[in-house]
Chains A and B, each alone.
Chain A
Amino acid sequence: MSAAPAAAPRWKAILFRHETLLLLVLVAEWFYFDAVGARFATLDNTFEIVRHHVEIGLLALVMTPVILTGGIDLSVGSLLGLCAILFGKFWRDAGLSPLEAGACTIVVGALAGGLNAALITELRLPPLIVTLGTYSLFRGLAEAITHGSDTFTGFPSSFLALGQGHWLGLPAQTPVFVVVALGVWLLVHRTTFGRGFRAIGFAPEGARYAGIPVERRLALAYVLTGMVAAVAAIIYTARLGQARADAGTGYELYAITAVVLGGTSIFGGVGSVHGTLLGLAAIAVLDDGLVHARLPREAAGVLTGVLLLLALTGSVAPKLWAARSKRRPAPPAATPPSPPLPTP
């Protein structure tokens, strides 16, 4: 798809690609934690890492197309909380089976995503503000419905197995994650939808003139996010065995971090789903490895922030360097430095 700059040798292009650098970081993390931490690089622990990060991973996956369009969704964590308690309500108070309750929850997730989509596309409002509002609204509804204190527990073990059990030796939620990951990857990288997302991210007006149904593409991205947030809520409930109104607090920030770390530009237009997966893995391994290295939890927050800054700097450094070395020999007033692309 995106071809390497013609001038640079091919190996160099591959080496300096964001994904490659991220992979190196990941490998470095892996060997470092294996060296300093006890029982880090074991199969059991790898599965734990996967199990603990499936929900954030799901959110990050569907956040990718949203950010590709130049949008953002701050409401996913709150929506996860709302969906979790609604799932509990459907199951306990409406007497539905977990399967039916799950289906209803996904419908609610789609509706909630639809609300975001409607406000963003119909009224042309900035996604940041719309989802800042629904961030409060969804969490607030979750608290209002449960009065903050109602907790749903005692789910049947057949349902809990989805979050806690194993399937062919893998954590039981892995297949769901793999299916969603593949689906989103195909959507973004192998269909015309994906090109649409990118085009919208580059220039919404241009995309419109090029005949892309901008509103429908945007709506698809946000509705999909709502639905997958509902799926994440169900898995979360199964993993913890309980649903409470504070489920998923702060997950939106982790999801956004994973996407951006994975090389997707926050301004839209550039990015990839496999980049997001790598970014997610880098955060997940860091998060888990620090426990094995016996460093306190605060270190995870600090280092995630630092890693994000380093990745961003790393992604613009070659460009800045090139711009500088190009500018130096030129007469100072001749050509103003071209405004840098805001994308890595």
Chain B
Amino acid sequence: MSRYFREWSVAGALGVLLIVLAIFAPAFFQAQPLLSLAAAEAPTLVIACGMALVIICREIDISVGSQFSVCGVCAGLLAAHHAPTAVALAAAIGTGACLGAINGALVAGLRLPSIVVTLATMMTWREGLNWWRQGEFVYLPEHLQWFGLSQSAGQWTLIAAAGLLLVALALALRHLTAGRFLYAVGTDMEAARLAGVSPQRVKFTTFVTMGALTGLAAMMNVVQSPQVDPKSGTGLELKTIAAVVVGGVSISGGRGSLWGAFVGLLLLACISPALTHLHIEAYWEKAIQGAIILLAVVADGVRTRRKKS
């Protein structure tokens, strides 16, 4: 119980929200809108998984939103020029991995602080994309949407892909040596190094993985509609960081699980539609989101403080 206390308490908060919705707005629980919501959030889950990895090894990546846009536009442009879907997917993941490698090289190679490095790359990629595309939509060929499957099959594919990825990464993090390395580096870099782990290599790999996952997520978003909006992805970094942190991953590294990130994201993703269903005016949304983030961390803070004293 105490091992996954944080995960369970966030799940509890989510449960309360769902009960409130079940009583006051049962219309929330309809198959199609929930499926659409889940499919739309599947890419965010993929990024949140990556973000959890990055934060567990005591780094942060605030350039994911910009990376997401760049990868989406690149994949979209390729598809628009009649490249097969597989090529577009590979291009999205490849572009993401390259952008991630740039972050990784700067952080691990030059030992620069990741928050500043990714702040710089966030600005550079975002404004570079604006400069290049001027905000123009990319119009996709028809066969790309849902990978050419039917709508619900496509949505289930995306959800299943994100779910499988989550399970695979979570298990790998628990049971594979590479996963333990991540915690080791996040907890104490020097100790990890003395134990024979190369912290810089672990960090570099983590950033590349983050980039590749962002590229995958971008592609999962691209296939959901017939046009790519280069602005999509703006603010994604804050959303995923908030989800991961609400889910109990410690920002100072070495602590937390992907399950936590998953529940945290579920909670945050449900807030916006829940407010619509509860007929709460849109201008309360940001304040409520902020309050929930604060409550989650305060609850944790109070608990650890009480434990200490």
Touch between A and B in complex, CB under 8 Å?
yes
- Residue A107 lies at the interface, judged by CB distance under 8 Å to chain B: no
Asked if residues B123 and A137 are in contact (CB atoms below 8 Å), the reply is no
Q: Which of A247-292 contact B (CB under 8 A)?
A: 253, 256-257, 260, 265-267
In the bound complex, residues from chain B placing their C-beta under 8 Å from that of A119 are 294, 297-298, 301
Chain A residues numbered 112-149 whose CB sits less than 8 Å from any CB in chain B: 119, 123-126, 128-130, 132-141, 143-144, 146-148
A312 touches B189 (CB 8 A): no
Number of A-B contacts (CB under 8 A): 152
* A301 touching B245 in the complex, CB below 8 Å, given contacts A133-B293, A139-B286, A267-B113: no
CB-defined interface of A302-344 with B at 8 Å, one 1/0 digit per residue? 1011101100110010001000000000000000100110100
Distance of A253 from chain B, by nearest CB (Å):
7
The answer to whether A143 and B120 touch across the interface, beta carbons within 8 angstroms, is: no
Could you tell me if B130 and A339 are in contact, using CB atoms closer than 8 angstroms? no
Pairwise interchain contact B288-A298, C-beta atoms closer than 8 A: no
- Are B287 and A302 within 8 A (Cβ)? no
A143: min CB distance to chain B, Å: 5
Could you tell me how many residues of chain A have their Cβ less than 8 Å away from some Cβ of chain B? 50
The verdict on A300 contacting chain B, using a C-beta distance below 8 Å, is yes
B: contact size bracket: 35 or more
In contact, A312 and B117 (Cβ under 8 angstroms): yes
Inter-chain contact A144/B189, CB cutoff 8 Å: no
The reply to whether A130 and B113 contact each other, CB–CB distance below 8 Å, is no
Give A306 to B300 CA distance when docked, in angstroms.
38
Within 8 A of B (CB), among A136-186: 136-141, 143-144, 146-148
Scoring B111, B193, B238 by chain A CB atoms within 10 A of each residue's CB, the highest score goes to B111
Taking a contact as CB atoms under 8 Å apart, the answer to whether B290 and A336 are in contact is: no
Contact pick for A136, options B113, B116, B128, B287, CB 8 Å: B287
A124 to B288: give the CA distance in the assembly, Å: 23
From A298, A336, A339, residue with most partner B Cβ within 10 Å: A298
User: A-facing mask of B118-147, CB < 8 A → 1, else 0?
Assistant: 011111101110110000000000000000
Tell me whether A143 and B283 are in contact (CB under 8 A).
Answer: yes
In angstroms, Cα B272 to Cα A140, docked, is 13
User: Contacts A125-B301, A301-B123, A302-B128 given: A133-B294 contact, CB under 8 Å?
Assistant: yes
For window 173-219 of B, CB contacts with A under 8 Å fall at: 189-190, 193
* Docked-complex contact B283 and A133, CB < 8 angstroms: no
Q: Which residues of A contact B (CB under 8 A)?
A: 72, 119, 123-126, 128-130, 132-141, 143-144, 146-148, 253, 256-257, 260, 265-267, 296, 298-302, 304-306, 308-309, 312-313, 316, 320, 336, 339-340, 342
Q: List 5 A-B contacts (CB under 8 A).
A: A123-B297, A123-B298, A140-B289, A301-B126, A312-B116
Query: Known contacts A143-B286, A147-B283, A296-B131; can you find 17 more A-B pairs with CB under 8 A?
Result: A119-B294, A123-B302, A124-B305, A129-B245, A133-B294, A136-B289, A140-B284, A140-B286, A141-B287, A266-B116, A300-B127, A301-B123, A305-B120, A308-B120, A312-B110, A312-B116, A339-B189
